[in-house]
């Protein structure tokens, strides 16, 4: 069982399990590798083939109660909506995440690219649902609008009229006209033909 769970729960740092229910009246139980392992909150369902006393084979499941541990970010203090996140207001901890409602934010990602979408209390586990990416271009930023063809490139200063992320097409204002432009990086946008 441990080898099977090691494979199926490899995305967790560690796990603990307790067998809640087994098939009744069996001579032999074998894990059915062809069927998929089901994980629902803190319960795991292991598909098995059971051999009964009269040599009949039946499909069944073993139900496990699980504790699933991951390294997660936990808030050190209360965090307000739209507050920038960094290592100063978060701490990394190994916690049981099996009963959390949402997807835990990976400690391998760059936290400096995000800000809080909601108010978070002290000691809250950071979930993707709590976060929003910081836009590359913010409304009102001065940016450079680039356009050109046939080796002739033109660059003019413009002002963004909305927030934008890499690859987004946003409205910008240049020379008292509104244009659409694609976000290339923090300072440069490329004119989109209208």
DSSP secondary structure letters along 65-120: EEEEEEEEEEESS-B-TT-B--TTSEEEEEEE-TT-SSPBPPTTS-GGGEEESS-B
pLDDT of amino acid 193:
79
**Is 194 a residue whose pLDDT tops 80?**
no
- How many other CB atoms are there within 10 angstroms of residue 183's CB atom? 22
pLDDT in tens, 80-120: 998 999 889 999 999 999 999 989 998 888 888 899 999 99
| Average pLDDT rounded to a whole number, residues 125-132 | 93
Quote the percentage of the chain above a pLDDT of 90. Answer: 67
Quote the percentage of the chain above a pLDDT of 70. Answer: 99
Beta bridge partners of 38: 45
Interatomic CA distance for residues 78 and 76, integer angstroms: 7
Confidence of residue 30 (pLDDT cuts 50, 70, 90): very high
CB 5 within 8 A of CB 15: yes
| Average pLDDT rounded to a whole number, residues 122-148 | 92
Query: Which domains, ranges and CATH numbers included, belong to the chain?
Result: 2-68 (no CATH), 70-133 (3.90.1210.10), 142-191 (2.30.30)
pLDDT of amino acid 56:
87
């Amino acid at each position: 069982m441990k080898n099977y769970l090691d494979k199926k729960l490899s995305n967790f740092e560690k796990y603990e399990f307790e067998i809640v229910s087994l098939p009744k009246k069996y001579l032999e139980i074998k894990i059915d590798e062809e069927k998929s392992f089901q994980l629902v909150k803190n319960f795991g369902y292991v598909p098995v083939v059971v051999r009964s006393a009269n040599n009949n084979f039946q499909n069944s499941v073993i139900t496990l109660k699980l504790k699933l541990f991951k390294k997660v970010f936990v808030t050190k203090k209360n965090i307000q909506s739209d507050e920038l996140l960094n290592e100063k207001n978060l701490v990394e901890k190994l916690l049981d995440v099996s009963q959390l409602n949402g997807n835990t934010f990976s400690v391998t990602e760059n936290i400096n690219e995000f800000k809080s979408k909601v108010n978070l209390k002290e000691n809250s586990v950071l979930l993707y649902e709590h976060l929003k990416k910081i836009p590359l271009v913010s409304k009102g930023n001065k940016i450079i609008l680039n356009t050109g063809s046939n080796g002739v490139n033109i660059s003019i200063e413009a002002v963004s009229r909305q927030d934008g992320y890499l690859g987004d097409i946003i409205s910008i204002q240049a020379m008292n006209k509104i244009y659409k432009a694609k976000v290339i990086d923090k300072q440069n946008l490329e004119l989109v033909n209208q």
